[in-house]
Homo-oligomer: A and B are copies of this chain.
Amino acid sequence: MPTYRESGVDLHAAEELVDQIGPAVQKTWNDRVVGGFGGFAAGIRIPPGFQEPVMMMSTDGVGTKVELARVTNRFDGLGFDLVAMCVDDLAAVGARPLAFTDYLAVGAMRPHRDRALIESVAAACSAAGCALLGGETAEHPGAMPIDAFDLAGAALGIVEEGKVITGASIQIGDLVIGVESPNLRSNGFSLVRAVLGDVDLESLMDDGRSVGEALLEPSVIYAPAVLDAVATGAVRGLAHITGGALPGNLPRVLPPACSAVIELGAWEVPPVFRYVQDLGSIPEEEMFRTFNMGIGFAAFVGSADAAEVQAVFAGHGHRSWVIGEATAGEDDRVLFV
């Protein structure tokens, strides 16, 4: 006489988790949130100041960065990775993050880990200015290794009609401002894991941090800074540098007959990328095709406006550099020189 619990699904543990995470989740709620914790769905009112609001959605996961978190028992950064992946896609179209939902799939529930993961999602939502409206924690006994987990989510944002940043207004000669990412964000970790082999993740790097700590450093959330940059009126195109890195993401906003020339050496590639490269003898081109190499977000601006926009990023604590410019033609959409 099997029961659902014996088949590997523990509804009681799931309820306990919901009780535990309640305070952290509700801390992300502002007075625009509608609905109670534990209902079928919660909602958020449109903030003031929008005449013709467009509601934008984005979704992403944190990829196999979860595997490094699993083996090093470091879970409190992954929520920042997840929220950054989603809300910075919203910011890349000029949308302000409003709300978030998370999805956690597990082989079996691990109360300490699962609570740490969801509390980090909640903390990241607060940092991004959005309300964590809901979530799902799903046990997949047998279908996932018992200690495995996966973390994904979806973000809701808002932008005034006609103010969506598409890149269509990018002009030849516009400068590309690259905003610093001190780490890999949440991309390229399958390659990282392939080259790590049996490297001890607790061994120390030159900067005194462990390998695991450096690789798991949480992603920067750019959205608040990007939206302030957009508010200057100077931004003509935005790219969130995720999977596919600079060569994969800049073309998503370049208008037809327009390319980007990126000057290698215009910024400092953070040491963690060189560590991974050396470990795997990875060719330079493959590195720039797979990893952000220190540029997590890019903005296209007229040359007269670059200083103003860089000052906005600096005001949020993000270093930035002019890393290239928009050029005519589309033979090489992204040319490294």
Contact = CB atoms under 8 A, between A and B. Distances in A.
B150 A282 contact: no
B45 A2 contact: no
Interface stretch (A4-12, A177-185, A312-320, A321-329): A4-12
A21 interface: no
Contacts of A138: 61, 63, 152
Contact of A90 (B34, B41, B98): B41
A293 to B, nearest CB: 13
Interface stretch (A49-57, A198-206, A302-310): A49-57
Contacts of A53: 45-46
Interface in A230-288: 238-240, 243-244, 248, 252-253, 280-283, 286
A64 B2 contact: no
A260 to B, nearest CB: 16
B43 A159 contact: yes
8 contacts: A1-B281, A2-B195, A9-B191, A57-B100, A59-B102, A59-B134, A143-B148, A143-B150
Interface in A60-80: 60-61, 63-64, 66-67
Interface of A: 1-4, 6-9, 11, 34-36, 38-46, 52-61, 63-64, 66-67, 89-90, 92-93, 95, 98-103, 105, 133-136, 138-144, 148, 150, 152-154, 156-157, 159, 161, 164, 166, 188, 190-191, 193-195, 238-240, 243-244, 248, 252-253, 280-283, 286, 289-290
A303 to B, nearest CB: 24
B34 A64 contact: no
A43 B66 contact: no
B1 A283 contact: yes
Contact of A154 (B55, B57, B61, B286): B57
